[in-house]
């Protein structure tokens, strides 16, 4: 199963791109699961260290439902809107909360390929930093960060929504960067199979 994680609190441009990415994966025969922060109750990690002493996170919210999905996933597709030049606070909170999962199972993400999608309202609004934050999350947890490579998808999929659905639908170059990135993930999964 490939897990798509959507970091937007609304079902708009980021979800549109992530769902297009998951559709590509499904067309290649991969099972996908969509998990989004929209409508979810997500608390911040408070560094209480409960997870280091006892297994699991003490915060009783919707992230509890994400832990088994992260464990089960063979690959991860992160998608975030660009907020203040980086990832959304919601997806960052989710990343921080995976500390509890990793404390229980150090290998929960080890060796799993992951890709990143960032959607900004501006053409150059912080997509690269948002992509790097996701790549860093994958790297430091032993996952395998992938990108679509040079000529268009250097760090992953970078999109320009102009703050609207109309804008994202018009961003052909951004969608090309998404397809390049997803194709690299497909290639990696097929090579490894």
CB of 126 to ligand FMN, least distance (A): 5
| Residue located via tokens 């109309």 | 166
Distances (CA, A) of 13 to 24, 82, 150, 151, 155: 17, 11, 24, 23, 19
- Using the rule CB under 6 A, is 170 a contact of ligand FMN? no
Q: Look at phi and psi of residue 184 and say left if phi exceeds 0, alpha if psi is from -120 to 50, else beta.
A: alpha
Q: Which 18-77 residues touch ligand FMN, going by CB under 6 A?
A: none
CB of 104 to ligand FMN, least distance (A): 31
CB of 102 to ligand FMN, least distance (A): 27
Q: Which of 73, 80, 156, 147 is nearest to 110 (CA)?
A: 73
* CA dihedral of residues 11, 117, 170, 82 (deg, nearest 10): 70
Select from 26, 46, 84, 139 the one that contacts ligand FMN (CB under 6 A). Answer: 84
CB of 69 to ligand FMN, least distance (A): 20
- Using the rule CB under 6 A, is 85 a contact of ligand FMN? yes
Handedness of CA 166, 170, 173, 179 (dihedral sign): positive
- Using the rule CB under 6 A, is 158 a contact of ligand FMN? no
Interaction site with ligand FMN (CB under 6 A):
8, 10, 12-15, 81-85, 119-122, 125-126, 161, 163
């Amino acid at each position: 199963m490939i897990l798509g994680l959507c970091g937007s609190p609304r079902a708009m441009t980021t979800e549109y791109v992530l769902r297009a990415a998951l559709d590509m994966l499904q067309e290649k025969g991969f099972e996908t699961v969509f998990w989004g922060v929209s409508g979810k109750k997500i608390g911040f990690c408070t560094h209480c260290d409960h997870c280091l002493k006892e297994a699991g996170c003490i915060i009783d919210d919707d992230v509890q439902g994400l832990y088994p999905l992260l464990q089960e996933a063979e690959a991860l597709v992160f998608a975030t809107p660009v907020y203040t030049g980086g990832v959304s606070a919601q997806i960052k909170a989710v990343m921080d909360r995976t500390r509890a999962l990793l404390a229980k199972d150090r290998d929960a993400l080890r060796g799993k390929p992951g890709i990143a999608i960032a959607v900004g309202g501006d053409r150059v609004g912080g997509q690269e930093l948002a992509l790097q934050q996701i790549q860093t999350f994958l790297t430091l947890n032993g996952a395998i960060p992938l990108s679509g490579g040079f000529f268009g998808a250097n760090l992953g999929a970078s999109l320009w929504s102009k703050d609207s659905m109309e804008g994202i639908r018009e961003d052909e170059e951004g969608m090309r960067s998404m397809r390049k990135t997803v194709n690299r993930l497909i290639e990696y999964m097929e090579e490894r199979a």
